[in-house]
Structure 1
Amino acid sequence: MIRHLFLILLVITGGIGASQLPSFARAYEQRLGGALGEVQKMVDAFALQASAEGLDFQQLAERHRQSGDTAVRGTADRMTALADRRGVLAEQKRMLDAAPTSFDKLVSIARFGDGELVRDTLSTYEISATLDPAFGAAGVGLGWLIYGAAGSLFGRRRRSTPGGLVRRRLPK
């Protein structure tokens, strides 16, 4: 009886959980676009400052790096980090935009997703009533597989008779 309840629980959890994955991918994609936009604004502000001083972005960063003031040197490190992050986020966005299916988007997020953005998306993600049938079916299958693996891992116990004797099958 408990085994059947465990199977039902795994199948339902797998189906509902997996059917939420495309929605999660869309939420991540939106968050990625917002993060990229914000980083781009900061890099553009530094580029505008550099242009006003007759320099390019890298030259301004180098000027800050050579300053005697530790706060100004720290700004150079932040400038470089922002430019690097912009590149990483832009590449992730390009890969997600090129992914033809929800499954491809999820694979891309799993392989190349920004850890901070994935955590932030997970922390604010809310399960929706929208269920994706293909992913739901895959989740049901995964639930069955987990149930089968758990059954083979733990094996079946022999049932004993009410008197405590183990039932044995007689050879034919």
Structure 2
Amino acid sequence: MILRTMALAAGLTGAATLSQFPEFSQQYTQRLGGAVDELTRVVAEFDRDAETVGLGRDEALRQLATGGDFGAARAESLRATVARQARLSSDLAAIEDAGPFMRARLAAHLADPDIAARAWENFRPGLPMTFEGAVFAGAGFGAGWLLLAALVSVLRWPLRRRRHRAPIMARAGRIEPGAPRRANG
């Protein structure tokens, strides 16, 4: 009875946790879109400045890097900004039009720690009343139940007693253990 109660609790915990994924992934996607917009603006501004003096992005970054310690540090931070903008734009393109089930499949694109932390700060769990929330809740319930069942099974394995069984013929009532065989006849 205790194990069933624990399995039910694990299932409900899994349901409550996984049912939050659709809303959290939606909030993450919104924040990701905002970050991409802002980074795109910064990169475009730098590219415009470079273009006004007749330079491409790479040449402008090289020239900036030769401008002393501050210039070198600024060039490095701009390189990081350009790389982050490209990475986040790629993530956004992958998940932007995806529904909640595809976002679960594409969860690797929800991996920017800064954006995830900011989305988590403002995230408030709620009871999902959508089809996808119910599906994720059901999957979470099953996962929690199975995880606890597997854990209990592994923990109980060394404690199992081996049952000594009588030979197959003895169980079938044909031969009694220790009794002499009778001749058919």
Q: TM-score, normalised by structure 2?
A: 0.75
More moved, 140-149 vs 125-134: 125-134
2:26 match: 26
- Following the alignment from structure 2 to structure 1, what is the Cα–Cα distance between the partners of residues 96 and 60? 33
Aligned partner of 2:60 in structure 1 is 60
The match for 1:165 is: none
Query: CA–CA distance in 1 between the matches of 2:152 and 2:74?
Result: 58
Residue 130 of structure 1 and its aligned partner are, at CA, apart by 1.7
For residues 152 and 79 of structure 1, the distance between their equivalents in structure 2, rounded to whole angstroms, comes to: 54
Residue number in structure 1 paired with 2:88 = 89
CA radius of gyration, larger in: 2
Other-structure match for 2:48: 48
Counterpart residue type for residue 6 of structure 2? F
Please list the CA deviations of residues 94-147 of structure 1 after superposition, one character each: whole Å capped at 9, or x if unmatched. 111353x42221232236632332233234322022241111111111122012
* AA in 1 matched with 2:139: A
Q: Show CA shifts across 1:24-45 (max 9, x none).
A: 1111111110111111121122
The count of residues paired between Structure 1 and Structure 2 equals 159
The 5 A counterparts of 1:121-140 are 121-131=119-129, 132-140=133-141
Residue in structure 2 matched with residue 164 of structure 1 by the alignment: none
- The amino acid that maps onto 2:63 is R
> What are the ranges of 5 or more consecutive residues in structure 1 without an aligned counterpart?
159-167
Q: CA RMSD in A?
A: 2.4
1:91 to partner: Cα distance = 0.6
Give the aligned residue type for 2:71. Answer: V
Query: Which residue of structure 1 aligns with residue 108 of structure 2?
Result: 110
Query: In structure 1, what is the equivalent of residue 35 of structure 2?
Result: 35
User: Structure 2 unaligned runs (5+)?
Assistant: 172-185
Q: TM-score, normalised by structure 1?
A: 0.80
Report percent identity of matched pairs. 25
CA distance in 1, matches of 2:148, 2:69: 58
Alpha-carbon distance in 2 for matches of 1:77, 1:53:
20
User: What SS does structure 2 have at the residue aligned with 1:38?
Assistant: helix
In structure 2, C-alpha distance between the alignment counterparts of 1:114 and 1:58, rounded to whole Å: 25
